Structure formats: structure tokens, C-alpha cells
Amino acid sequence: MSFQNTKSNLDYYHPIRPPSTVMKLDRLGSFHQSRLSFTRRLIDDLKYQKSKIEIYQWDIDNSGIGSAIIKIALKKETLSLVIFCHSINDEERTDRVIAEKWDMTFSLFRGIPNKNELNQLFKNLKIQESGRHNSKQLTLSRANKSQRIFEKVLNDLSIGKQPSEKLINDVGYLVRTTAVYGNGKFGIEDFSKTNGHIFLEKPFQAEMLTVYLVRYFSIELINFLAKKKGGKKSVNLSKHLTKHLGVGNATGLGMAPFLVNHQELIHQWIYNRETAISRVFSIKRLNKKTQNKIINYIHQAFKYSLQWKVDDRLQSKKIEKLSLDLKKILQNEELTKLLNFHYPIKRFFNFFKDDITLETQEILNSIFIEPFPELLEDLINNMGAEEKKSVLISYTVNDILEIIKDNFNWAIKIDTSKPEENYCFWYTSQTKLEPRLGITKKDAGIEKQLPFDIAHQIKQAVNTLNKLPSNMTTAEVMINHPELRNIIKRVIINKSMPYSEIQNNLIGKDMKPIDILRCKLSFFGASKYDPKSNLWTRVTLFQGAPLPNQLWKKNINDWLFPNLSNV
């Protein structure tokens, strides 16, 4: 029986991988973009909405300073991206979130702002967090021109020349955002107000739309400035190179605690991803067309790996090994045979998994999911979670100890008395209200640490609970031992949502925050991870994605692992 892209044709379900396998930082830090990523979902939704995206207002001068409005017409509402371009010095252009000046500032806005609203936006967008913002604003964002590429591309286009493909590929974007705020931050509209708005109510939809429109604006801007500079001899950026440009993003520690603080949501994301992998592993037969698709995606991933260049030594080694792994898979004589067997994807993965890295394993999982959007539709539309402020407190001490024994054995095994397991602490910066990481023996402020020492809290809870009556309720425990409230709540959530907890010591010396960042960014749909330290990374979003005038085309969401040979 050939697989016809429906769940009814699965005669069994392959067991999903357990949290003990998945929820380790080294694996989470190897995730890649997939069909479940928010960038991919946005493109599908824009097509479904029959969206029309156009320049509504353009007041940019010859030096690139001024304002613009991009209008997005959806089925039932109109949104706009409001843009202001500013003049700043090169030394003021930085990736740091503490920057106070940017080349461009943006806000996704409900409707089209009137004159008074536009004046308010002009005064407040340029100062970002320090401004007074309108409740019609859905996002607050800023970006800088890429110092490596923007002026070079502009100069080339102005003299009638296309920029070098190597330059476009090595950087991958014209502008780079340093923050895209949403969900009520700094006075903009709260996510809860989007209820009933089908397009906006999905997680991170407003933020992803903002980034997609920033990409569109950056391309319109470079073509406009090239024409102003070069006149008749200028040319627009070619379609080939235009599609390969995304938007850069510099992401640091501010994003990392999200995976710790939003247990229900992270469980939903990762459980859905693992369910997707389980479903494709459960497919009994593949027709020839689908077999060829999978092989082609592996080829794309191989080419992508060859064009993925970073300075970081550790990530460079991972990429090099990824390339070698994919090359060996493609050259293996068993490749075609494996895809002809019963349960071919499961057999394929098991055949190679012991000889390939985690990076390769997880890029293969993204590939396996790719050809089956119909099989994943319910998962793609269920990436949100209702996060409850309270949990059932009818559990007893014995119940909690049993859950810890079953689900937190990883924490029990950690010797929390060792200095290396108490190496750092998380805290919130007063300046930017953003999370930061301190070194325990070096930095002050440990008394204000955030409660991310989960393994330590588990040990403390076990020691206390073992001294209490086994039938005492968690309500009584929380009243008498308020210091255990946080960890008991986490334990109870983890019982029904086992993918809600990272199974590593988050204050240990071996912990790499970059793995936490990459896990979240993979669900956003990032590519070309470019770590600058263990604390922050550059990435590219929407590289290879269709442009607004291409959203009507067939197979528009087929842009996994973009490389210049296939865009």
C-alpha cells in the first residue's frame, strides 16, 4: 500500500522518542527548521489568506532616511508595517540589545495609522523601549544594515552589476534585527486581544509577519537607493539573489529562559515535533515520487551544509561532520533499497543513526517530515498552549516523590555539591530587564538569581519531602514549605507534559546557553546558525522563502535548506 498522505493509512504508530533522549541540550541544540516552524506556517497562512502586500506610502530620501508604510490586506482585516529609517554613525551600529540607536525601527500596526497616530509612532518608535506605544501596535522592532554587505550590494547595483553570489550567500541578509517584541511588551497590544482573529492568534504570527515584511522592505530599499544613486545604469537585484536574502537576527540570553519559563508551550512544540517524526516513521510504503523527494532534500541539505560558513570553531567542526555524513549517506549503495522496504523511513534512520552525529540525525528528521504536510496539519495548527497559573494540589507527598523518581532521575544523578555544578547563575538586568548569566565565584548578585537551578531544587524537594508524612497533600506542603512551591508545580506539570523540562543542570559549567537559543530558533524557522560565543548567535530568517509576489504559486513552502543552487 502506498502512503497517500493521510493518517488513516498508518497501520501502526511508531513510539515517539522519550524525553530522556530528546530533552538533552546537545540534541535540542542540534534542531533545524521543519514544517512545524513558525516561518513556514506564516507562508502557508499568507497564501490561504490570499494576502496582498504592497507599498502604501514611501517617503524615503536619496540617502535612505525617512518613513514608509507597507500594507497587508488579509481576508478580514488590514495590517501595516510602519517603518522609520534613521541616520546613525557606524560606531553606533551594534548587535547588542543595549543599543540606543538603529538604522531602522518598525511596528506592525492594526489598520493604517492616521496622521496623529503616525506622529506618535515617529516620536516613540525611534526610542523603542523608552517610548509610549499605541495599543494598536502588535510588535516593536528595530534593525541595522549589515556592515558586511549593504553598501557593497548598493554600489554594485548602482553601476549595473549584480553582487557576488558568494557575498550574498556568506551573509544572507541586507539588514539584521536585534529585537522583535510582541505580546504586550512596553505597552503594545497583548496577545490575549488577538482572540477571534484567526490569522493573528497563532503563536508568534505577528512577530514572524514583522520579520517577513522587514525582509521585503530591505529589498525594496536597496533597489530604490541603487536607482537613486546610479540612475539609468542601475539594475535591480536579480530574482535569483533576491530570494536567497532573508533577515538576519542577533539573539542572545534574553531568549534562553523562555524554554524554562513556558513548560506547557515547550512541551507542545517538542511533543508535536516528536509526534510528527513518529508518524513518518510509521509509514508502511513510499511511492517513487516521495522517495525521490527525500533523496532530493538530502542533496539540498548537503549543498546547504557546504554553504553554511561560520567562524565558531566548534560549530564549524559540526558542519564539517554534517557534510561528511550527508555525503556518505548519498553515496551509500543501500540508499534506494532502504526506501523501498516496509517502514522505509524508520529503517533508513536506524540504518545510519549509529554512525552519524546528532546534527545529522536532526537534519534528517526535518527532511523526513518535509514531504508530508497533510499528515502534519493538525500538529501545525496546534502549536499553542493554554498556560495555567495553577495546578491540581490533591497530590500527596508520596505522589510527588514517585513522579520525581520516574521523570527526574536525571536531576537526582547530578552531584549538586560539586563546584562545577554551581558554576553560574541566571539573573535579570535592571538596565534592559533582560536575563543575564553570572559566574558564581566572580560576579555579585547571586541572591537575586532566577529559579533555573531545577536539579538543585529537585534535590532540596526530595530531602524535605522524605521527612514529611507520605499522605500529606501538596497544598499542605506548599503552605508549610513555600520554598518548594515552584518546583512542586514544575513536577506536577511534567507528569502530564513530559517534554516540558530540559534534562541538564542549567547552572553547571558544561551548560551552553547557545543550545537553548538554537532549540527555540529552530521552531521559529531560523537557518545558518552562526554562534559568536556560548551566549549569543546570529541567524537568518526567511532565507529562500517566496516573496510577496510569489505567494500565489504552487509548492511555495518548499524552501527547506536554501542554497544558491536551488533557489
CA distance 421 to 424: 8
Predicted local confidence at residue 11, as pLDDT: 64
Which residues, at least 6 apart from 158, have a Cβ–Cβ distance to it below 8 Å?
225, 226, 227, 229, 230, 233, 234
CA distance 514 to 315: 11
Strands 246-251 and 173-181: parallel
- For 176-198, b/e burial (b = at least 16 CB within 10 A) is bbbbbbbbeeeebbebeebeeee
Nearest Cα neighbor of 478 from 498, 508, 468, 439 is 468
Residue found by looking up cell 512551591 in the block:
485
User: Residue 445: how many CB atoms within 10 A of its CB?
Assistant: 13
Residues in the chain: 567
Q: In degrees, to the nearest 5, what angle opens at C-alpha 248 toward C-alphas 244 and 254? A: 150
Domain boundaries, the chain: 7-34+259-384, 38-145+178-230, 397-496
Which residues, at least 6 apart from 329, have a Cβ–Cβ distance to it below 8 Å?
298, 335, 352, 356
Question: Cα(first)–Cα(last) distance of the chain, in Å?
Answer: 34
Cβ 71 vs Cβ 109: under 8 Å: no
Predicted local confidence at residue 273, as pLDDT: 98
pTM of the model: 0.93
As given in the structure block, the three cell numbers for residue 195 are 482572540
Cβ 543 vs Cβ 527: under 8 Å: yes
Cβ 197 vs Cβ 77: under 8 Å: yes
Q: Each residue's pLDDT tens digit in the chain (567 positions)?
A: 334 444 545 667 889 999 999 999 999 999 999 999 999 999 999 999 999 999 999 999 999 999 999 999 999 899 999 999 999 887 777 665 556 789 999 999 999 999 999 999 999 998 888 888 888 999 999 999 998 999 999 999 999 999 999 999 989 999 999 889 887 777 787 776 666 677 888 889 999 999 999 999 999 999 999 999 999 999 999 999 999 999 999 888 888 888 899 999 999 999 999 999 999 999 999 999 999 999 999 999 999 999 998 999 999 999 999 999 999 999 999 999 999 999 999 999 999 999 999 999 999 999 999 999 999 999 999 998 887 777 777 899 999 999 999 999 999 999 999 999 999 999 987 766 678 899 999 998 898 899 999 999 999 999 999 999 999 999 999 999 999 999 999 999 999 999 999 999 999 999 999 999 999 999 999 999 999 888 889 999 999 999 999 998 888 888 999 888 754
Predicted local confidence at residue 44, as pLDDT: 93
As given in the structure block, the three cell numbers for residue 539 are 541567524
Partnered with residue 129 across adjacent β-strands are none
User: Residue 115: how many CB atoms within 10 A of its CB?
Assistant: 7
CA distance 535 to 513: 6
